[in-house]
Amino acid sequence: MTSLLAAEGGYQSFTLGTAEWMWLCVAAGVAILALILGYILMRGVLAQDAGTQEMQDIAGAIQEGASAYLKRQFRTIGMIVVPLAVVVFVTSTAIRKEIDNPLTGLSAFKAFQAGLKERCVEPPVFTELSPVDSYSAVG
C-alpha cells in the first residue's frame, strides 16, 4: 500500500491555499515586528541612567534573588522532565519494535475487536483512501 490511510496517522502531504499562506505570512510579519519592538525597547531601557548607588544595590539584590529562584525552578523541572522523557522514549521505541500498532496490546482494544467480529455479518472491506488535498477552514 503506497499511500497512507487517514486513520493510520503519520505524515500526510498537504498544500496551503491562498488564505493559509496569507495567515502564515501575517503571523511571520507580526513575529518579526515583535522582535524589532523588543529590541528597540531594550535599547531604550539600557540607555537610561543606572540610578543612585542605593538603587543599584537594590536592583542587584533583586537580580540575585530572581536568578536563585529560576535556578531552583529549572532544577525541579529537570528532575521531572528528564526522567519522563527517557521513559517515554524507551517505551515508545520498545512498542514500535514489538508491534506495529500499540493499541493491539491493550485488553480493552482486544475486547472491542472481539465485539466487532461478533456483530459483523461479513468482514469489513478495506479500501485505499486518497490523500487529503487541503485543510482549508476558509471557503
On the question of pLDDT at 5 being above 60, the answer is no
Q: Which residue has the higher pLDDT, 97 or 37?
A: 37
Could you tell me which residues come within 8 angstroms of residue 6 by beta carbon, excluding any fewer than 6 positions away?
12, 129, 132
Identify the pLDDT of residue 3: 46
Q: What is the C-alpha to C-alpha distance for residues 26 and 24, in angstroms, rounded to an integer?
A: 5
Average pLDDT over residues 73-96: 82
**Confidence band for 138, pLDDT divided at 50, 70 and 90:** low
Q: Determine if the pTM surpasses 0.85.
A: no
Q: Which residue has the higher pLDDT, 41 or 123?
A: 41
Q: Enumerate the domain spans of the chain.
A: 15-51, 74-118
**DSSP designation for 124:** P
Identify the pLDDT of residue 103: 59
Residue type (1 letter), 108: A
Q: From residue 88, give the alpha-carbon distance in Å to each of 82, 84, 99, 104, 108.
A: 10, 6, 16, 19, 22
Exposure of 95 by Cβ count < 10 A (0-12 exposed, 13-18 middle, 19+ buried)?
Answer: middle
Identify the pLDDT of residue 113: 72
Which one, of 131, 136, 130, 122, lies nearest residue 22 by Cα?
Answer: 136
On the question of pLDDT at 122 being above 90, the answer is no
